[in-house]
Amino acid sequence: LAKTTQPISMDSYEGQEVNITCSHNNIATNDYITWYQQFPSQGPRFIIQGYKTKVTNEVASLFIPADRKSSTLSLPRVSLSDTAVYYCLVAPNDYKLSFGAGTTVTVRA
């Protein structure tokens, strides 16, 4: 499994864009990149997945450079309710997900 490295924590304010960068230098050719969000006392929730370039959905955007050694999750115009832990995962084709420590994002008013 490719190891991922992401910041332990990030602070932001309401209305700002939050960008979380994750490095995964040892990503394999068939691996996908996926991000999950977890609120306290809840199970993780899938946000987005991608293989290369850019993916956008109603919640976030995922930017993946050509070398795929890193990825950036972009949360537009965050609100207080976006305060959560965000996990970057490299997903192999056996569908086993390995969650790291994640990034705790705190959004302040």
Q: Report in angstroms how near the CB of residue 46 gets to other proteins at its nearest.
A: 4
Q: Report in angstroms how near the CB of residue 33 gets to other proteins at its nearest.
A: 9
State which residue, 7 or 16, has the beta carbon closest to other proteins: 7
State which residue, 81 or 96, has the beta carbon closest to other proteins: 96
Q: How far apart are CA 70 and CA 22, in angstroms?
A: 5
Q: Which of 3, 13, 2, 10 has the alpha carbon at shortest distance from 107?
A: 13
Q: Which residues bind other proteins (CB under 8 A)?
A: 32, 34, 41-46, 49, 87, 89, 91, 93-102
Q: Which of 57, 27, 46 has the alpha carbon at shortest distance from 84?
A: 46
Give 2-69 as a 3 state SS string: CCCECCCEEEEECCCCEEEEEECCCCCCCCEEEEEEECCCCCCEEEEEECCEEEECCCCEEEECCCCC
Q: Report in angstroms how near the CB of residue 13 gets to other proteins at its nearest.
A: 28
State which residue, 96 or 109, has the beta carbon closest to other proteins: 96
State which residue, 16 or 97, has the beta carbon closest to other proteins: 97
Q: Report in angstroms how near the CB of residue 12 gets to other proteins at its nearest.
A: 23
